[in-house]
Structure 1
Amino acid sequence: MDITNQETASGGRYVAELEGHEAEMTYSRTSPKLVIIDHTGVPDALRGKGVGQALALHAVEEARKGGWKIFPLCPFFKAQSQRHEEWRDVING
């Protein structure tokens, strides 16, 4: 699975491509040290294949590399962050 980053001035998205389908996790940047994960979209064709989990882990790894925190507004990402104690270092909220 290939995950790419697409950045804009105010945020961006992480995009996973698999089997000809695209899933995404979008975020808004509130400051250089905080992003809000606001949406995760996985098409039905990719459900149950770990794509959402891979996007969430990618977001956590990007936050660690970039030195910022994540505020989990997206219900999916929030649920994942509550299941993964090892992500606490980058979760804000």
Structure 2
Amino acid sequence: MKIENKRNGNGGYIEMLKEEDENKEVGRLTYTINPEEKKLIISYVMVYPEFEGKGMGKFLVEAAIKFAREENWKIYPHCSYARSVMNRMNDVEDILLKS
């Protein structure tokens, strides 16, 4: 799998591609950045039905966490799926915004 971050200004998406299948899209996570508050807001996580149940959504959330940490931002998971994943993680207390 290949993960690409397509940032455009104060927003963008992280896309997961299946390289061995002509870069077929597996899923994506969309986000908005609030630079004044140093915050990344996860808006939506989507995985195509044929790839569901294989942890692909969690990989996308982990990619967003890595991106936010590189930029020294906090994350607000507006998306209920992302919030659920992050609430079950033990190593995100430093970056997770509850509200």
TM-score interval w.r.t. the shorter chain?
Answer: over 0.9
Deviation by residue 1:31-61 (Cα, 9 ceiling, x = unmatched): 2511110100111011012110100111111
5+ unaligned residues in a row in structure 1: which ranges? none
Give 1:73 shift. Answer: 0.3
The aligned counterpart of 1:15 is 15
Larger deviation, residues 19-28 vs 53-62 = 19-28
- Are the aligned partners of 2:77 and 2:83 in contact in 1 as well (CA < 8 Å)? yes
Question: Percent identity between the aligned chains?
Answer: 28
Residue 28 (structure 1) aligned with residue 32 (structure 2): yes
Instruction: Tell me which amino acid in the other structure corresponds to 1:49.
Output: K
- The separation in 2 between residues aligned to 1:12 and 1:88, in whole angstroms, is 24
- The separation in 1 between residues aligned to 2:5 and 2:35, in whole angstroms, is 18
Divergent runs of 4+, >3 A: none
TM-score, with length taken from structure 1 = 0.92
The aligned counterpart of 2:84 is 79
Deviation by residue 1:8-44 (Cα, 9 ceiling, x = unmatched): 1121110001252331000011125111101001110
- The separation in 1 between residues aligned to 2:59 and 2:17, in whole angstroms, is 11
Question: In terms of Rg, which structure is larger?
Answer: 2
What is the aligned length?
93
